[in-house]
Amino acid sequence: MTSLWYWLSKKSLSVISIISSFVFVTTASSQPNYYLLHVEKVNGNAVLSLRTFDFLPCFGYSIRVSQQWNGDTAVVSISGFVKPNPCMGGAAPAETHVLVEREGKNNFYLKILDDGASDLWHITFPKDAFNGVPVKNSFTTYQ
């Protein structure tokens, strides 16, 4: 009976350890991502540069995005990260560049969507300078 009790208690500790590990991994991966953004004119077009605050485990990660227009708003949806192959040692932020301007438009909104959250910026280009005013920002900041 003692050996059965020992075996059951050892199995229970293993199950508790597995559950604890799962809860930790789930909690760690559900933390929001934070991004630095920068918009600049490139060949007369507005280009959004987006970079993570956090470093990922190797150099060369990119941010997977899609972009569309909804009226006067450029909507950029973040759908994850692309791991480089090969994964070179070290750590670096993930980044991407997205064309976000319609020809000749110097005043528009930029909406960034990530994991159910959204930030909204008002973008203007007086001459060749960027001016971004946050309308609502919780996970993005201007660099």
- Model-level pTM? 0.73
pLDDT at 28: 40
The gap between the terminal CA atoms of the chain, to the nearest Å, is 66
- The answer on pLDDT for 116 being more than 80 is yes
Mean pLDDT of the chain: 78
Q: C-alpha 142: how far from its chain's center?
A: 14
CB 74 within 8 A of CB 119: no
pLDDT tens sequence across 66-96: 999 998 899 999 999 999 998 888 899 999 9
Candidates 135, 10, 143; CA nearest to 72 is 135
- The answer on pLDDT for 13 being more than 80 is no
- The answer on pLDDT for 118 being more than 90 is yes
- The answer on pLDDT for 125 being more than 70 is yes
Domain positions in the chain are: 1-31, 35-142
Strands 73-82 and 107-114: parallel
CB 119 within 8 A of CB 136: yes
pLDDT tens sequence across 38-71: 888 788 778 889 999 999 999 999 999 999 999 8
